[in-house]
Structure 1
């Protein structure tokens, strides 16, 4: 959903250590250390420590001393420099100070937090909204709280790391199924013991390849088998669906799901996470959800920017249309140049460009950066099927001219590296 985009439960410990062998606790990271060392030795720029020295707009920044087009920031609706959003944050900073220094259940609920939750309820037309300090915490908190020991969580194998971590924290039985496979999901559900608590966790848009879930069919199967449904809409909130409510809206299942998780760090343009729901007992989660209870609340300036952005996204029809135009043009242009893409057709604001291996992927990333273009380099284990890919995240503020520049940069870099 939401955060840096990792899509597996395992993060780094690729090296196994024999039982009883004396070892440093960092030994398990040796393969990752070797991977990074080998990449840097090949002469490429470090793809994992880029510094933006100055951010000029939602689509441009100064990186390594040169102006660079941003195509890997998740800033889908370009709200980070919206004048109304900035003004709201500035005013809240002046009126309420820099932070709350407390949990939401103690001194950490300011007027702005309530206004932000009001904006979410209005945006989704739902009864309840709960704001977390990050999108990661929203998944971690809701999943671990509603699905505990003895319950079952049925989830897509390509689920985001925060989803896997929420399952682990709650100590529920984890039942994964093949990516976007409706039949496999149904088989898993039917094997769960009668009377057990069941939660199906899906994502509207999967962050690595940018593909969408067949939510209409999957939600029906889940409900037919007595499961509650949680959908993470981190990468679709704001621009998919008539009102920007995500794939759940586009698929017509908004009223059938039990929980929608989202983040402020994508289309909303700030930081934070949330859950909205119509469940009549939802409000009790504020007292029993550990990542909500035991975390300091978001600063007043952050919730003010989020609330303002959310309300503007309600009427951002033209922005949504332009973003879809950008997505279609980039996808079609890269495909015609000969790049292998993660989806046959554009399905979201994410266009994944598949690379033959990590070495050439890093070389391509570095070549693009030298051209003046920033994209995300994604590698295993965060990617599905051990893929290496360049993940492009389009923005509603990318101009037609910028998309043309991006395609030219990909062509030059791709030929220089030998990808096309």
Structure 2
């Protein structure tokens, strides 16, 4: 029957209910700050929100959203091509383009739509897309719709990418390479210098998803491409407003004037209502704060290093280098679930990631830091992990 394919998920959800484990879709009843809330009746430190700069609770962003709602209403009720193009959308696009130092920008209603829609449109039948094997679901969704030949290269492996470009021969000139700045599950950073060199060598085009690196990397917070010094080699940058900018929505920016023509070919842009005025206003204000207050980025990295160093000192299986995303890996499913529950019971909310969402067969407890976390909160998170070891739920050698 049509719905039989969902039986495995139904069984998994039933198991979670039996365990009273609410790691997925936990309900937040109250937000106390950018870093604390009441989740499923328990006051917790929010350590899994991607709120990297803490701007979702910034009074300046909230006031901008309030004023825009009073002026423009709660929604646009139409797409950008119909009645949904407001002057505020154009202003945000101009500010995004200026921030990235390029000439052109498109805004979308969600980050998923931005990435999926752009990847679905730039390449088509007869073209090739080379994407990192650990790419986000939105990228996979987009390239599947594109009609292009899709080839995966090993995660963050320039040598494997080079091999596949060589095999394409003349077709490399009709190839779009796709990479992410920071990969969302493990927090590792793409080797964009090497990828950009290959892009230039073979005459391909390069798209970088800066969803988790905007506001996090680079001297001006523009992302991994800026940090690697290769912005001139990146043809398209996509990203989201839902992380460092604390709202919802997405964007694509480019140095290529053709982006203005691409705009009218992206289904995810044409056939959906435009971003609401409140979101556009809060995003504009957040972008200004990101640009003008680099100390937020510095504080984020202080917190990230503090957490990473603390968890590594406990002997837990963290990544090879500090990042605002600090994931602890578990080979054992039962241990990961039990550890998530104890963390929650001890007042720390993190993300439990299970295959196939994790980039391997392992299970993750994914922590994300914010500039708004205090040193005391970070130490409490580390202490909660220490309690896991003391309780025998995980040992350093088995984590």
Q: TM-score, normalised by structure 2?
A: 0.96
Matches within 5 A, 1:331-370: 331-341=308-318, 343-346=319-322, 348-370=323-345
Deviations along 1:26-76, one digit per CA (max 9) or x if unpaired, are: 2112222223323433x3422112100001111000112222100000000
Contact 2:338 2:393 in 1 (8 A): no
Where does the alignment leave 5 or more consecutive residues of structure 2 unmatched?
Answer: none
Contact 1:272 1:298 in 2 (8 A): yes
Structure 1 residue 141: Cα displacement: 1.1
1:13 match: none
Structure 1 residues 411 and 151, CA gap change in structure 2 (3 angstroms)? same
Structure 1 residue 181: Cα displacement: 0.8
1:389 match: 364
1:100 match: 76
| 1:113 aligned residue (89, 92, 98) | 89
| 2:59 aligned residue (56, 64, 83) | 83
Deviations along 1:3-48, one digit per CA (max 9) or x if unpaired, are: xxxxxxxxxxxxxxxxxxxxx222112222223323433x342211
SS at match of 2:32: strand
1:21 match: none
Contact 2:248 2:279 in 1 (8 A): yes
SS at match of 1:333: helix
1:290 match: 267
Contact 1:364 1:417 in 2 (8 A): no
Distance 2:290 2:369 in 1: 17
Distance 1:78 1:93 in 2: 22
For this pair of structures, how many residues does the alignment match?
394
2:190 match: 213
Q: Which has a greater percent of helix?
A: 2
1:262 match: 239
Deviations along 1:112-143, one digit per CA (max 9) or x if unpaired, are: 11121122112111101100111111111111
2:140 match: 164
| 1:280 aligned residue (257, 266, 269) | 257
SS at match of 2:76: coil
Deviations along 1:357-392, one digit per CA (max 9) or x if unpaired, are: 222211111111110110000111111121210110
| 2:227 aligned residue (242, 250, 262) | 250
1:406 aligns with 2:381: yes
Structure 1 residue 144: Cα displacement: 1.1
1:310 match: 287
Contact 2:331 2:361 in 1 (8 A): no
1:236 aligns with 2:213: yes
1:379 match: 354
Where does the alignment leave 5 or more consecutive residues of structure 1 unmatched?
Answer: 1-23
1:69 aligns with 2:66: no
Distance 2:293 2:355 in 1: 36
Contact 2:30 2:39 in 1 (8 A): yes
SS at match of 2:2: coil
Deviations along 1:255-280, one digit per CA (max 9) or x if unpaired, are: 11000011001000000000010002
2:101 match: 125
